[in-house]
Amino acid sequence: MPSLLRSPASRWAVPAVAITAVGAAVGFGSVLAGASSPDLPERTAADLLASVAGSEQPFSGTVVQTSRLGLPDLPEAVTDGVGPIALLTGSHTARIWYSSPDQARFALTGDLDETNIIRDGDDLWVWSSSTNTAEHAVVPPHGGRDDPAPVPEAVSPQVAAEALLAAVDPTTEVTVDGTAEVAGRAAYELVLAPRDDGSLIDDVRLAVDSETSMPLRVQVNSDGADEPAFEVGFTSVTMAEPSDDVFRFNPPPGATVEEHDLSDLRRHDDEKSGDLTSPHPAATPPTVIGEGWTSVIVIPDVSLAGSDETGVIDALLGSASRVSGSYGSGRLLETGLVSALLLDDGRLLLGAVTPEVLEQAAGGLDS
């Protein structure tokens, strides 16, 4: 079965590495919003954080995500489409309609193709214009796991903001830095800044809608850069319930329709992960070293990556420097926002951190 319906959101998780690495570390600042334009009542950072966490707003809008990570040239086959790796470079536009967790639609458009992910009650659809293929599944009742989500990671400002605000600890200074206008709406500028100088990130700015507390824009700024290294935000948004017609999907004429059973898939995944004698056991999941802004993600074996991912890793590390230390030897790549260290034994370390932090983490892997 194609992986689109295995977990739609997970296919777009790659661009969220920087967000995840920043992730989460949030403390409570006490600076008040100033009186800059637009003119809004003063609110504390703690108040804004609480309001963002509790916001649940139906809407429809257009979102643009732009990545300026300073990466080497990636394979054209993966940067020209609408897949996850394509989101690592350039700008990408999406339309999002959201009524509730059970009713949402996401359309990511490329130059020549479009991918739609639609959740309408128990029905889940994924349609690709490039292949004119529609995949359909009935979402089973909750079984202790989240349902497949229709909004790809790091493309929605809300999802990116949730990743940043998921955990709270003292590694982050949080303040409110005046106000801004995003998609024609007045917003507060909530600023997250690392207290640790081992991070490559200068700060992260969240524009929080003054009326609904919905995140309208997320910008990740690297130290010394003139433009955000990563940003995702609305260019237009309507704070109203979308029409039910938006969520009713009918495959276009000539489309190939593939039916899938998510219950069988979940049962298969459970059995596979629990069977240690299987000739193809589940891959060891990534681990995280450290916390807050200097967290480092460790992928145990990049040889298990798919062909697209392997091609990207090869392209990225083709211009990397050879390094060695107590951890052995490997190849190191540093961009304005993310550093990567591929050890010769196949382990990959990633983080929005300086190379020194990566090498220190690598040195403690076997201790």
Phi, psi dihedrals of residue 77, rounded to the nearest 5°: -60, -25
16 — pLDDT class (breaks 50, 70, 90): very low
Residue 277: the pLDDT is 45
Which pLDDT value is given to residue 57?
87
- Locate 316 and state its tokens: 């990225």
Structural domains of the chain in order of their starting residue, each with its CATH number: 3-245 (2.50.20.10), 287-363 (3.30.310)
Checking if the pLDDT of 144 tops 50, the result is no
Residue 13's pLDDT is 32
Q: Identify whether the C-beta of residue 93 lies closer than 8 Å to the C-beta of residue 101.
A: no
The mean of the pLDDT values for the chain is 76
Give CA separation, 74 vs 80, 321, 337, in Å. 10, 17, 17
Residue 320 DSSP one-character state: P
What pTM was computed for the model? 0.76
Q: Residue 58 in contact with residue 99, Cβ under 8 Å?
A: yes
Find out whether 188 and 33 touch, Cβ atoms under 8 Å: yes
pLDDT of 276 reads 42
Q: What is the pLDDT of residues 146-164, one digit of tens each?
A: 455 555 544 667 676 666 6
First-to-final CA distance of the chain: 40
pLDDT tier, 21 (very low <50, low <70, confident <90, very high otherwise): very low
Q: How far apart are CA 331 and CA 341, in angstroms?
A: 6
pLDDT at 329 over 50: yes
Looking at residue 315, its pLDDT comes to 66
